[in-house]
Amino acid sequence: MLQPIPTRIYRITHLTNLPDTLRHGIFCRNRPAPVTAAYQNIGDASLTDRRNRIAVPLPPGGVLNDYVPFYLGPRSPMLYRIGKHAPQSEIIYLLSNVQHVQQLGLPYVFTDGHAFEILTSFHQSPADLANLAWADIYADQWKPTLQNPNLQRHKQAEFLVHQFVPVNALVGIAVLNDHIRTQVEQIVQQAGLALPVREVPAWYY
């Protein structure tokens, strides 16, 4: 599979976080955000803490928690784990694409696999995107095999935007079903924005 153009990036969040996100943008873990309603964290707290100890070896440097993380493909293992304990319908996708981030001049790095893994490399050159394992990143089934032991690692490749993602970096929102789409469209309208909202059940488990 070739690199998709435009190259979408995918961030999942809880529906209750959307009004504040559309008001203020997305802040990295290590950058103080404005006082907002209670934020509903969907990540594993132990993994989030570990991200504060993993250095990013390219400028602007820092640690993983100095960046806003996006996946490079949908149906992440993280979403699968969330779905084992909570309704997936309450999880929404915030969408952008690499080319739009570049146009806005936002500093970024990206990985060719799970950022925790020793085999994973960090990159910054747009040309390196073409060399990622796109078939693995977009795979529906991601259990490693003897033929492809790196499948799950590749599936979790990340696009990391330094510190902050403004609202104008978003190009759309994806949801599981019509009920959630209606709620999200109302939130977007109340925020005075024109972001498209689409039902994409294929991006869920």
In whole angstroms, what is the distance from residue 174 CA to residue 164 CA? 21
Q: Residue 55 in 3-state DSSP?
A: strand
User: Is 51 labeled as catalytic in the residue annotation?
Assistant: yes
Task: Of 52, 44, 86, 72, give the one whose Cα is nearest residue 129.
Answer: 72
Contact, 73 vs 138, CB < 8 A?
yes
Q: Max CA-CA distance within the chain? A: 50
Is 12 labeled as ligand-binding?
yes
- Consult the annotation and say whether 11 binds a ligand: yes
Rounded to 5 degrees, what are φ and ψ at 167? -60, -35
One of 29, 75, 158, 181 is an active-site residue; which one? Answer: 158
Kindly name the residue from 8, 29, 51, 153 that is annotated as catalytic: 51
Tell me: is residue 26 an annotated ligand-binding position: no
Can 199 be counted among the known catalytic residues?
no
Place of tokens 């394992």: 133
| Residue 104, CA atoms < 13 Å, CB-side half-sphere | 19
Cα–Cα distance between 37 and 71 in angstroms, integer? 25
- State whether residue 13 is helix, strand or coil: strand
Distances (CA, A) of 55 to 13, 126, 167, 199: 24, 21, 27, 36
Binding residues for NAD(+): 11-13, 51
Binding-site residues, please? Answer: 11-13, 51
**Residues recognised as catalytic:** 51, 158
